[in-house]
Amino acid sequence: MRPIHFPHALLAGLLILASGGFAAAASTTSQRPNVLFVGFDDLSDWIQLLDLASPIPMPNLDRLAQRGVTFRRAYCAAPECNPSRTALLSGRLPTTTGVYANASDWKQVMAETVMLPRYFREHGYASFGAGKIFHHVDPHFHDNASFDEYLPFLTDRLPAEKYNQLTRARTPDGEWEPLAPTFDWGPSVIPEPEMLDTRSAKFAVELLRRPPGKPFFLAVGFFRPHLPYFSPQRFLDRYPGPEMPLPLVKAGDLDDVPAGAHALMRRWMRMWRGIQQSPNPQAKWREAVAAYAAGAAYADEQLGRILDALERSPHRDNTVIVAWSDHGYHLGEKDHWTKFVLWEKANRVPLVIVAPGVATPGGISDRPVSLVDLYPTLVELCGLPARADLDGLSLVPLLRDPDAPRDRPALMTEMPGNHAIRTDRWRYIHYADGTEELYDHQNDPHEWTNLATDSRHREVIAAHRRWLPAREAPAAPDFNPNPPAR
């Protein structure tokens, strides 16, 4: 086991927590452990937990890392919300289910699937949820059968006019395309107690104050730092735009990426073009990154409120905690903004698991793992009947020994035919048109040099191709909010 390293400013607080707080002791009763399942939306790996050079601390996420295992090579199953969350909650990959896109109607193709919170509910747990857990485009994407009690996801109100007046961008073909009204940032227009993530944290805090009863599964889905990047002013004050550091980028970074990569990017270039075409692109870029960082800080504070409540509760020593993000995020790296691509930044996610009596406190694992592994992991940790129909592999061996061997890489999919394979050293990408990318993370952590056309790496590519899915489920139909009358 290797100890995890934290920024010096956090070390003192972490040492205090190590002497108390989340005591990593096994349960002294026969009761199955509770589960606290906390998700962030669009939280990238550019945070200090995973990158000490990052300007974005998340001290409460670090608190969890001190008590459990941090998976430094954790990946989503798909770099967009609906397919990622559907995979995480079902334990099944997009290539198994056909849920490839945000619009995919998972209920049409997965009607008999028992989602993770529902599985716990069917095995004696009280199941609670708040915020964004399933995808939020329409209430149809929510699964009522998964929860005994749920605080609905209601998006925060947008301001009457955009703070950031980027409204459209010109394509390389000279056409104008509108930017989403949600591509905006600034101080929240609603009071902090009424904001979605504040209300979700309050729901969890109040639930943790209830006297012990049945074991619980509590899922809390924070919406921040998802766009629009609105936070209370006090968080924006921490990140003055003109002083905000920017992520590392390389001029001409896209010169060696193939047609398949450009095809995926083309669908989602509007926001990055909007920044680049503004009167002062560098200043606008810093503003947007600063507002994103403020959203991460706001969400982390809400996590801290829940952790404080758990610490004061009778559940503190008998609760498994999982903190995750649904996918990664680009903030200008590789000339890209948001997700929807198969590079490391869009797919690598923060993942921390605290399992009293099982997880190695302060441990870090560099084995590539997937969010689809969480379903079988929690089933095993809580002693529920194992399921043979899941695509994931339990992470319990890595919780006990973060360096334990693991013979499966992580698979990511973005729309049919486009896949990435992540092993310890390499990221291999194969696109639907047959084009490829290969990156050596040992020597090129920013993925600046595509090695796929280098004949010296033919054997590496061949070894990774073997992990591509042999079969892919047909794409699920898009959800239709206004189906034709019968």
Out of 5, 8, 76, 81, the active site residue is: 81
User: Cα 69–74–79 angle (5° rounding)?
Assistant: 145
CA atoms within 13 A on the CB side of 203: 23
Q: Do residues 280 and 287 touch, judged by C-beta distance below 8 A?
A: no
For residue 169, the one-letter residue type is A
Domain containing 98 equals 8-157+183-465
Which pLDDT does position 483 carry in this prediction?
A: 67
**Residue 485: its pLDDT value, please?**
60
**Domain-embedded: residue 266:** yes
Known catalytic membership, residue 446: no
pLDDT at 484: 63
Q: What are phi and psi of 214, to 5 degrees?
A: -65, 150
Q: Is 101 inside a domain boundary?
A: yes
Note the pLDDT of residue 486.
54
- Whether 304 maps to a domain, the answer reads yes
Q: What is the pLDDT of residue 140?
A: 83
User: Is 170 a member of any domain?
Assistant: no
Answer whether residue 107 is part of any domain. yes
Domain count of the chain? 1
In a domain? residue 176? no
Instruction: Extract the tokens encoding 198.
Output: 């504040």
Smallest CA-to-CA distance from 414 within 188, 87, 178 is with: 87
Distance CA 112, CA 345 (A): 34
426-430 and 436-440: which strand pairing?
antiparallel
Q: C-alpha distances in angstroms, 326 versus 44, 85, 108, 303? A: 9, 6, 22, 16
Instruction: Measure Cα distances from 2 to 361, 402, 413, 426 in Å.
Output: 10, 8, 31, 22
Q: Quick check: bond before 215 cis, omega within 30?
A: no
Report yes or no on 210 lying in a domain. Answer: yes
Sign of CA dihedral 381, 382, 385, 387: negative
Q: H or E element: which one contains 95?
A: helix 94-97
The reply to whether 384 falls in a domain is yes
**Which CATH number belongs to the domain containing residue 305 in this structure?**
3.40.720.10
Considering the candidates 135, 136, 142, 226, report the single residue annotated as catalytic. Answer: 135
Q: What is the pLDDT of residue 15?
A: 32
Q: Is 8 a catalytic residue?
A: no
Coil vs helix vs strand at 20: coil
Taking the C-alpha atoms of residue 319 and residue 409, their distance in angstroms, rounded to an integer, is 29
The closest alpha carbon to 472, from 421, 413, 427, belongs to: 413
Where is 223: in which H helix or E strand? Answer: none
Taking the C-alpha atoms of residue 373 and residue 410, their distance in angstroms, rounded to an integer, is 10
Nearby residues of 127 by Cβ (< 8 Å), 6 or more positions away: 117, 118, 120, 121, 146, 147, 148, 149, 216, 217, 219
Element (DSSP H or E) covering residue 297: helix 281-312
pLDDT at 12: 34
Does residue 228 have a cis peptide bond before it, meaning omega lies within 30 degrees of 0?
yes
Ordered mean pLDDT values, 10 residues apiece, the chain (486 residues): 38 34 33 96 98 97 98 98 98 98 94 97 98 86 94 89 94 90 95 97 96 93 97 97 95 97 90 95 97 98 98 95 98 97 98 97 98 98 97 98 97 98 98 98 98 97 98 95 67
Cα–chain center distance at 140: 22
Pairing relationship of beta strands 34-40 and 216-221 according to DSSP bridges: parallel
Which amino acid makes up residue 61?
L
Burial label for 111, CB within 10 Å (0-12, 13-18, 19+), is exposed
Task: Give me the pLDDT at residue 20, please.
Answer: 32
